[in-house]
Amino acid sequence: MAAPSRSVLRVLSRCQSLFFTCRAPSVSCSSLTAHRQQQAVRSYAAAAAKQKEKKDETVQEKAVKERKRVDDKNRHKPYGLTAWAPVDDVYMVRHYPKPVYETSVAIEMLKNFQKLDFSPENQPVYINLRLDMKLEKKKKVDPFVSTINLPHSFKSDINKIVVFTENPDQARIAMENGAAVAGGAELVEKILADEITADFYLAEPDMVQKLLPLKNKLRKKFPKSKRGSVGMNIPKMLALFKSGHEYMVEDIYVNTQVATLDMPKEYILANIHAIVKDVASHKPAEFGSFIERAIVCSRSSEGLHIKIEELLPQEEKKEHVSIKAHCL
């Protein structure tokens, strides 16, 4: 019995030594590690590919989706609202379409609001315009800044203007026509040191390069030919900017003061028409109507939507009406 047991032990010890000295397991471990690495790489690549496919699908969906206009012409009520008009004096405003008034009616309402609120009579009147900046293909109208002379100014102070010129005669003419300061490149250091400040800065064309150190300081007030603040006719520029009213486009909106509430209704109407006409001139008529929506308000009142058609120039008005009829 002892002999067989010894032979079995020898066989087992021999098998154990062979098991630990064999190199095959090391090879299989390395191959297993490589397999795991390859599998991880492939799974990451598959995930990235799926993300790319999803991204492409979302881009295609966005390209296919278009904003559909709902035709409410023959509906018993506007889409998503309760009715065309409320039947009671007290109602939830968001459940009904916002009323659109004629401009003269809206101004009268603002004046009545002021009497009811006991707010100041000389509070400012603002207009807010939403613009359609699109042109052909993917082009858009660049945001702009414009200065116009309103038919009836609401400012009591004259704008302070600095004129850059190195011609002594032109400097004398500028001072005679209402410029606060006129001079050449020597004014740059004084402006940088805040010794001279102004509402507008005008310059002759040959002075623009010498004024580049002021670009970061003046920012939007820096003289530019597009704004009409660079030119040779200094008296004409001064006549515009001394009493001119400046407005700018922010994103797709124009929000600017047009009058004060104590001005006659006719004066406020004339100023609104002047600003709308100037805004509409910045987009070619062949690309459709520029102004999509107009709102007037005073400092203490709510905004009132006004009819765009009566504010537009004659040619653009016809085109806006034809586009509206086509949409309906």
Distance CA 162, CA 199 (A): 8
Q: What percent of the chain has pLDDT over 90?
A: 41
Identify the band that residue 48 occupies on the pLDDT scale cut at 50, 70 and 90. low
What pLDDT, on the 0 to 100 scale, is given for residue 58? 59
List, for residues 155-186, the tens digit of each pLDDT value. Answer: 888 889 999 999 999 999 999 999 999 999 99
The model's pTM is 0.67
Distance CA 101, CA 51 (A): 51
What CATH fold (topology level) applies to the domain 97-143+251-313?
Answer: Ribulose 1,5 Bisphosphate Carboxylase/Oxygenase (3.30.190)
List, for residues 221-274, the tens digit of each pLDDT value. Answer: 899 888 889 999 999 999 989 888 989 998 889 999 999 999 999 999 999 999
Element (H, E) at 104: helix 103-117
**What are the residue ranges spanned by the domains of the chain?**
97-143+251-313, 155-244
3-class SS of residue 163:
strand
| 155-244 carries CATH number 3.40.50.790 | yes
List, for residues 129-142, the tens digit of each pLDDT value. Answer: 999 888 877 788 88
What pLDDT, on the 0 to 100 scale, is given for residue 90? 80
Distance CA 318, CA 178 (A): 42
Span of 27-41, 115-129, 136-150, 220-234 with lowest mean pLDDT: 27-41
Query: What integer is the mean pLDDT of 295-306?
Result: 92
Q: What's the chain's average pLDDT?
A: 79
| Residue 92, Cβ density class (10 Å: 0-12 exposed, 13-18 middle, ≥19 buried) | exposed
Q: Which residue has the higher pLDDT, 208 or 40?
A: 208
